[in-house]
């Protein structure tokens, strides 16, 4: 087998390898560039017979990306950088009754009682990336506070924790949970493309930003990582919504590559445990929506092989997978009528299928845009194609910028 083919296929499968970097270099319209090069793996079934896809590619130029919603013809739209700024710190509100979020039926609680709120004061930090526009809290533990050695960061020890950036002088704010790519952590540079194109504009628009450190069921497979760390983070933030000035019905996700575990999280049914003695576990796990860059919408190897690849490549693909990869997560198969709005952005055009030994070296198998195409087909099959859309051929330095308009629409301004 040609070395190029073996190398390209390994990118799909070897999720524990370093690679999914998320750095900022060069310049864009905001003064920085996001460079996303990632490695993440594969997952789970909820259907007996995986569907197959036959897609055609679309093209765009410069900062204009092609947007498609499953079942509709492509339309073009230009991504923008940032909304108007607003100085903003939180006042508190308390919500404990269950209701309905943008993302569908909610069976869990929406906010903890005052006695159950977390004490954020010891975690207050002075060096907020947003300067005087926000208050911030660093390394706040959530879930079980589990620690692990991250293979994509040379074994650096990480733990379940979040950094929280709260706009000043506002209440009932939406919240955006950021889930990073492999090769990076919840920390990010103040002058990065991510900060300038997405997280900074979110603060300016009056949205609380929560950057999450989390395990991934493929990347951290050897540590027995579950696929529920982001669920735990959602429930922790929702429990403490009254303390942070967050509207508990308006919590959404922003993700890149590895972080698109957030897509799996978003399409799950309600995961709250109403009988738990832990008030956090009684919180709704539902998200109002997700903006995902370079997303994998399944980690189930057999489905990926059957859907995207020529049968001659299947032995190589499937021979490198975890034995129980079927359980890692298959967002495409979990979409229902209650799944929330999701927008996906990819650097490349749709690949011609099936991918064979001659064409595999021409695609990014980890961030195959066809992952997004298949998710939108699932939304169409569930009866609401308008809630899934994809941008193809987005300039690399603008891959997160589309989140600004997405969240403005999702949160109502």
pLDDT in tens, 313-360: 999 889 888 877 889 999 999 999 999 999 999 999 999 999 999 999
pLDDT in tens, 46-96: 333 333 333 333 333 333 444 444 433 333 333 333 333 333 333 333 344
Predicted pLDDT at 105: 78
Name the residue among 186, 213, 219, 193 with its Cα closest to residue 39. Answer: 219
Q: How far apart are CA 107 and CA 34, in angstroms?
A: 38
In this prediction, residue 109 carries a pLDDT of 98
User: How confident is the model at residue 103, as a pLDDT?
Assistant: 64
Give the per-residue pLDDT at 45. 31
Cβ atoms within 10 Å, residue 413: 9
Which of 30-34, 143-147, 180-184, 371-375 is predicted least confidently? 30-34
Tell me the pLDDT tens digit for each residue of 280-311: 999 999 999 999 999 999 999 999 999 999 99
Q: Are 76 and 66 in contact (CB under 8 A)?
A: yes
Residue labelled with tokens 């939406």: 174
Distance of alpha carbon 262 from alpha carbon 83, whole angstroms: 24
| Locus of tokens 């524990």 | 16
The answer, yes or no, to whether residue 177 has pLDDT greater than 90, is: yes
Question: Stretch 257-278: mean pLDDT, rounded?
Answer: 98
DSSP 119-177: --GGGEES--TTGGGEEEEEEEE-TT--EEEEGGGTTEEEESEEEEEEESSB-SEEEEE
Q: What percent of the chain has pLDDT over 70?
A: 75
DSSP assignment string, 282-348: TB----S-EEEES--S---HHHHHHHHB-GGGHHHHHTTS-TTGGGS--HHHH--TTPPPEEEE-SS
Residue 134 has pLDDT above 50, yes or no: yes
pLDDT at 73: 33
Binned at pLDDT 50, 70 and 90, residue 13 comes out as very low
Token pair in block for residue 263: 């897509």
pLDDT mean across residues, the chain:
81
Three-state DSSP at 228 gives coil
Give the pLDDT band (50/70/90) at residue 157: very high
- pLDDT of amino acid 20: 42
Please give the structure tokens belonging to residue 230.
């982001």
Rounded to whole angstroms, the Cα distance separating 84 from 199 reads 13
Residue 62 has what DSSP assignment?
Answer: T
What are the residues whose beta carbons fall under 8 Å from the beta carbon of 236, sequence distance 6 or more?
A: 118, 142, 143, 162, 280, 283
What is the domain range of residue 258?
Answer: 3-411
Residue-level pLDDT at 36: 38
pLDDT surpassing 90 at residue 196: yes
- CB atoms under 10 Å from CB of 63, counted, come to 16
Q: How confident is the model at residue 146 (pLDDT cuts 50, 70, 90)?
A: very high
Contact 341, 387 (CB under 8 A): yes
Contacts 24+ apart (CB under 8 A), 271-277: 271/108, 271/228, 271/231, 272/107, 272/108, 272/109, 272/235, 274/107, 274/108, 274/109
CA 210 from centre of chain: 12
Check: CB of residue 356 under 8 Å from CB of residue 310: yes
Query: Taking the chain, what is the end-to-end CA distance rounded to the nearest angstrom?
Result: 53
Count of domains for the chain: 1
The CATH number of residue 59's host domain is 3.40.50.1820
The yes-or-no verdict on residue 256 having pLDDT over 50 is: yes
Instruction: Tell me if 109 sits within 8 A of 283, measured CB to CB.
Output: yes
- Give the tokens for residue 163: 């950094």
Residues 6+ apart with CB under 8 A from 401: 30, 79, 80, 81, 197, 198
* Per-residue confidence (pLDDT) for residue 320, from 0 to 100: 84
> Which of 101-115, 173-187, 309-323 is predicted most confidently?
173-187
Higher pLDDT: 85 or 106? It is 106
- Exposure string over 358-367, b if 16+ CB within 10 A, otherwise e: ebbeebbbbb
Tokens of 194: 């991510």
For residue 151, name the pLDDT band (cuts at 50, 70, 90).
Answer: very high
Residue 25: what pLDDT? 34
pLDDT at 394: 98
Q: In a 10 Å sphere around its CB, with 0-12 CB exposed, 13-18 middle and 19+ buried, how is residue 62 labelled?
A: exposed
């Amino acid at each position: 087998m040609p070395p190029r083919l073996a190398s390209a296929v390994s990118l799909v499968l070897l999720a524990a390898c370093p690679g999914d970097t998320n750095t900022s270099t060069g310049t864009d319209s905001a003064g920085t560039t996001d460079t996303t090069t990632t490695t993440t793996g594969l997952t789970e079934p909820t259907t007996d017979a995986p569907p197959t896809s036959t897609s055609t590619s679309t093209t765009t130029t410069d900062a204009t990306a092609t947007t498609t919603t499953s079942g509709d013809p492509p339309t073009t739209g230009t991504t923008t950088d940032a909304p108007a700024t607003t100085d903003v710190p939180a006042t508190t509100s308390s919500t404990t009754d269950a209701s309905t979020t943008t993302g569908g039926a909610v069976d869990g609680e929406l906010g903890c009682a005052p006695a159950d709120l977390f004490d954020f004061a010891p975690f207050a930090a002075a060096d907020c990336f947003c300067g005087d526009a926000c208050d911030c809290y660093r390394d706040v533990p959530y879930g079980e506070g589990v620690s692990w050695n991250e293979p994509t960061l040379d074994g650096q020890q990480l733990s379940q924790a979040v950094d929280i950036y709260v706009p000043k002088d506002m209440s009932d704010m939406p919240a955006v949970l950021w889930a990073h790519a492999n090769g990076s952590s919840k920390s990010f540079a103040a002058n990065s493309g991510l900060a300038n194109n997405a997280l900074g504009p979110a603060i300016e628009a009056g949205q609380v930003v929560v950057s999450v450190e989390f395990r991934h069921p493929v990347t951290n497979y050897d540590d027995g990582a579950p696929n529920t760390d982001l669920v735990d983070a959602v429930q922790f933030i929702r429990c403490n919504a009254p303390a942070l000035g967050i509207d508990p019905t308006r919590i959404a996700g922003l993700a890149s590559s590895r972080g698109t575990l957030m897509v799996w999280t978003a399409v799950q049914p309600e995961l709250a445990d109403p009988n738990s003695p832990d008030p956090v576990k009684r919180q709704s796990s539902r998200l109002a929506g997700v903006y995902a860059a370079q997303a994998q919408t399944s980690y189930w190897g057999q489905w990926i092989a059957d859907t995207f690849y020529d049968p001659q490549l299947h032995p190589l693909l499937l021979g490198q997978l975890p034995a129980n990869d079927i359980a890692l997560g298959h967002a495409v198969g979990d979409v229902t009528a209650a799944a929330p709005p999701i927008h996906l952005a990819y650097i490349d055009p749709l690949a011609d299928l099936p991918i064979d030994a001659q064409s595999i070296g021409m695609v990014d198998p980890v961030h195959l845009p066809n992952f997004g195409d298949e998710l939108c087909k699932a939304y169409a099959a569930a009866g609401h194609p308008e809630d899934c859309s994809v941008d193809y051929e987005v300039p690399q330095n603008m891959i997160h910028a589309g989140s600004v308009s997405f969240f403005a629409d999702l949160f109502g301004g």
